Amino acid sequence: MKTDVEELSPTRVKLTIEVPFEELEHAFDVTYKSLAKQVRIKGFRPGKAPARLIDRHVGRGAVISEAVNHAVPELYNEAIQKEEIFALGQPDVEVTKLEDNDELAFTAEVDVRPKFDVPDYEALQVTVDDAEATEDQVEEQVGNLRERFSTLVGADRPVQHGDHVSIDLSAAVDGEPLEDVQTSGLSYEVGTNTILEGLDDTLTGMSEGESATFSTKLVGGEHEGREADVTVTVHSVKVKELPELDDEFAQMASEFDTMEELRADVRSRMAEVRRLQQLNQARDRALENLVESVEIPLPDSVVDEELGRRRQSLEQQLTQSGLTKESYLESAEQTEEEFEEELKQGATSAVKAGFILDQLALQEELAADNNELSQYVMEQAQRMGVSPDQLAQHLVESNQIQVAYTEVVRSKALDLVMEKATITDESGNVVEQQSGDEAGVGEAESAADTEEAVEESAEELESDEAERK
């Protein structure tokens, strides 16, 4: 087999492959065996008809076409491995020459990963938010805890903003009552504007036992978008009563005896949470800095694929939330053009980051072992709410284990970047990173539970990765 490679662009190549017919012997053997089981030739059992009779029965042209269809994918894969081409997606194939007992020639155009080296990443400077909680933030958390211990007491006065009311709602369109748009005994906090536009304004000033009618546009159900007359009846008006922030409250709401101890504990817990947020933020910003430091061309097809995946994911989330794209754009205060531009920028950055981490992994000869792959499966299973064994089985059966392997290796590449980076907070303090051993305490035994389910596939991937390198 002869192979020529032409670089059409930094991200696309054209392979010209020429194969003498004698090298297609395997493809013809497979084709004849397959056709022999399908055709019925008098005097021969199924699968036993000789090649010359199959040629005569189905036509030599049909046999050649079938053999070529079988051979081309194998020849293409052999060519890209031989030429060390990192192909992305499926190739565009065109047969340019096909002469019986002479030669097969075809071209294959395919997108490829751009060739580049990741520059020196050991001097990356990353700035993150301060971890220490401010007094205002501590008081906000204490206030949230105080809200949990609040009580509702009756208010002998008209409704005000922030009151909690018990109401009945009913609606009518053109004087016809809507059976599916009515409720009784609904609890509602006035001022949250979470039910119907105009409800808060109507409730304000009403007293217990009063009813009022207002016009609004329905936002859900069969009659969504229609103008309706909504009648609201107030059954009760209550006001939230908060406990005093004293030592008695500290003893009631926590294991501490004084408010000073409670605040100190809140401050400590917030600092720990913000410390974890710091490290996550550091990883994100380190990757952003690395991506900005490298300029590489990106294949349009790969960016478009990532863009389509993100768009589909967002549409699924909106559907599950019962929202429309229009309402989403309105809440995000974005135009359609701004939304699409943001989506494209995100897809472009994600593809570029993936290429850079992949290349860094190749440069540093990084790979994923069974334990690391099993740990990844466990973490993803926990996020998805399924058992690790179920997810591992799904990945293997759907041939998606390569995706998991790639994610693990990319994460290791980013870990390497983080090890070399200098991280400081906004106050100029150096942020110490958590060691891998500390991060992994208690995870090894759990990871072993899913290791067996993915071990075989992981070993195959390691072999394939080593061969590709």
Give, for all 469 residues of the chain, the pLDDT tens digit. 899 999 999 999 999 999 998 888 888 888 878 887 777 776 676 666 777 777 777 788 888 888 888 889 999 999 999 998 989 888 999 999 988 888 899 999 999 999 898 888 877 889 998 888 889 999 999 999 999 999 999 998 999 999 999 999 999 988 888 887 789 999 999 999 888 899 999 999 999 999 999 999 887 777 778 889 999 999 999 999 999 999 999 999 999 999 999 999 999 999 889 888 888 999 999 999 999 988 999 999 999 999 999 999 988 888 888 788 888 888 888 899 999 999 999 999 999 999 999 999 999 999 999 899 999 999 999 988 899 898 888 888 888 888 899 999 999 999 999 988 889 988 888 888 765 444 443 333 434 444 444 444 444 444 444 444 3
Task: State both tokens at 263.
Answer: 């605040």
Calculate the CA dihedral of residues 207, 212, 217, 220 and round it to 10 degrees: 70
Half-sphere exposure (Cβ direction) of 425: Cα atoms closer than 13 Å: 16
Distance CA 111, CA 80 (A): 12
For residue 413, what is the DSSP state?
H
Which residues does 68 contact at the CB level (< 8 Å), separation at least 6?
24, 27, 95, 98, 104
CATH class assigned to 2-112: alpha beta
Which residues does 197 contact at the CB level (< 8 Å), separation at least 6?
216, 217, 219
Please answer whether residues 337 and 368 qualify as being in contact, where contact means their C-beta atoms are separated by less than 8 angstroms. no
Which residues does 44 contact at the CB level (< 8 Å), separation at least 6?
50, 53
Of 76, 57, 64, nearest to 18 by C-alpha is 76
- CATH 3.30.70.1050 positions along the chain are 2-112
- CATH 1.10.3120.10 positions along the chain are 265-468
Task: Please classify residue 32 by burial: count the beta carbons closer than 10 Å to its beta carbon, then call 0-12 exposed, 13-18 middle and 19+ buried.
Answer: buried
Which residues does 386 contact at the CB level (< 8 Å), separation at least 6?
none
Of 95, 101, 93, nearest to 28 by C-alpha is 101
Q: What is the pTM of this model?
A: 0.67
Distance CA 158, CA 228 (A): 25
List Cα–Cα distances, 214 to 209, 236, 238, in angstroms.
17, 20, 23
Answer CATH for 151-241 from 3.10.50.40, 3.40.630.30, 3.90.280.10, 1.20.120.530: 3.10.50.40
Domain 265-468 part of CATH 3.40.50.2300:
no
Which residues does 165 contact at the CB level (< 8 Å), separation at least 6?
159, 187, 188, 190, 203, 234, 235, 236, 237, 238
| Nearest-5° Cα angle at 147, 143 to 153 | 135
- CATH 3.10.50.40 positions along the chain are 151-241
